Chains A and B, each alone.
Chain A
Amino acid sequence: MMNNKNDIIIMDHGSGGRLSQELVQNVFVKNFGQNQSGPMTDSALLNISSTKIAMTTDSYVVQPIFFPGGNIGKLAVCGTVNDLSVVGATPLYLSCGFIIEEGLLISDLEQIVKTMADEAKKSGVKIVTGDTKVVERGSCDKLFINTSGIGVLNENCAHIASGSNIKSGDKIIINGPIADHGMAVISIRNGLEVESSLESDCASLNKMIAKTLKYSKDIRFMRDATRGGLATVLCECVEDKPFGIQLYEDSIPRNETVQGVCELLGFDPLYVANEGKVVMIVSTELSGKILEIMKRDPLGKDASIIGEVSASNEGLVVVETEVGGKRLLSMLTGGQLPRIC
Chain B
Amino acid sequence: MCLSIPAKITKIKEGNIAVAEVGGASREIGLDLIEDAKVGEYVLIHTGYAIEKIDEEEAMETMKWLREMAENLPDHNEVH
Do A's and B's CB atoms come within 8 Å in the complex? yes
Residues on A close to B: CB < 8 A? 187, 193-198, 248, 256-257, 259-261, 263-264, 266, 320, 339-341
* Interface contact B27-A193, CB-CB below 8 Å: yes
What 1/0 flags go to B19-30 for Cβ under 8 Å of A?
Answer: 001111111100
B63 at the interface (CB under 8 A from A): no
* Interface contact B26-A196, CB-CB below 8 Å: yes
Chain A contact residues, majority secondary structure: mixed
Q: Name the residue of chain B whose CB is nearest to the CB of A195.
A: B26
Q: Which of A187, A193, A195, A263 contacts B23 (CB 8 A)?
A: A263
Q: Which of B3, B22, B46, B47 contacts A260 (CB 8 A)?
A: B22
Could you jot down 30 A-B contacts, CB within 8 Å?
A: A187-B25, A193-B27, A193-B28, A194-B25, A194-B26, A194-B27, A195-B26, A196-B24, A197-B24, A198-B25, A248-B80, A256-B23, A257-B23, A257-B25, A259-B23, A260-B21, A260-B24, A260-B25, A261-B23, A264-B7, A264-B22, A264-B27, A264-B45, A266-B3, A320-B80, A340-B1, A340-B47, A341-B1, A341-B2, A341-B3
Q: Name the residue of chain A whose CB is nearest to the CB of B7.
A: A264
Question: Which of B2, B3, B25, B46 has most A Cβ within 10 Å?
Answer: B25
Q: How far is the CA of A6 from the CA of B22 in the complex (A)?
A: 39
* Interface contact A256-B24, CB-CB below 8 Å: yes
B39 at the interface (CB under 8 A from A): no
Cβ distance B22 to chain A, nearest Cβ, rounded Å: 4
Query: What bracket does the count of chain B residues touching chain A fall in?
Result: 10 to 19
Cβ distance A260 to chain B, nearest Cβ, rounded Å: 3
- On whether A263 and B5 interact (CB within 8 A), knowing A248-B80, A340-B46, the answer reads yes
Cβ distance A252 to chain B, nearest Cβ, rounded Å: 13
* Interface contact A264-B5, CB-CB below 8 Å: yes
Within 8 A of A (CB), among B8-41: 21-28
What are the residues of chain B within 8 A of A248 when measuring CB–CB?
80
* Interface contact B25-A261, CB-CB below 8 Å: yes
* Interface contact B24-A340, CB-CB below 8 Å: no
What are the residues of chain B within 8 A of A196 when measuring CB–CB?
24-26
What are the residues of chain A within 8 A of B2 when measuring CB–CB?
340-341
Q: How far is the CA of A69 from the CA of B59 in the complex (A)?
A: 38
What are the residues of chain B within 8 A of A264 when measuring CB–CB?
5, 7, 22, 25, 27, 45
* Interface contact B28-A257, CB-CB below 8 Å: no
What are the residues of chain B within 8 A of A266 when measuring CB–CB?
3
What are the residues of chain A within 8 A of B21 when measuring CB–CB?
260
Cβ distance A149 to chain B, nearest Cβ, rounded Å: 34
What are the residues of chain A within 8 A of B22 when measuring CB–CB?
260, 263-264
Question: Which of A195, A259, A339 has most B Cβ within 10 Å?
Answer: A195
Cβ distance A307 to chain B, nearest Cβ, rounded Å: 10
Q: How far is the CA of A266 from the CA of B23 in the complex (A)?
A: 14
Cβ distance B23 to chain A, nearest Cβ, rounded Å: 3
Q: Name the residue of chain A whose CB is nearest to the CB of B4.
A: A340
Q: How far is the CA of A119 from the CA of B33 in the complex (A)?
A: 49
Q: Name the residue of chain A whose CB is nearest to the CB of B78.
A: A324
What are the residues of chain A within 8 A of B24 when measuring CB–CB?
196-197, 256-257, 260
Q: Name the residue of chain A whose CB is nearest to the CB of B20.
A: A264
Q: Name the residue of chain B whose CB is nearest to the CB of A197.
A: B24
What are the residues of chain A within 8 A of B3 when measuring CB–CB?
266, 339-341
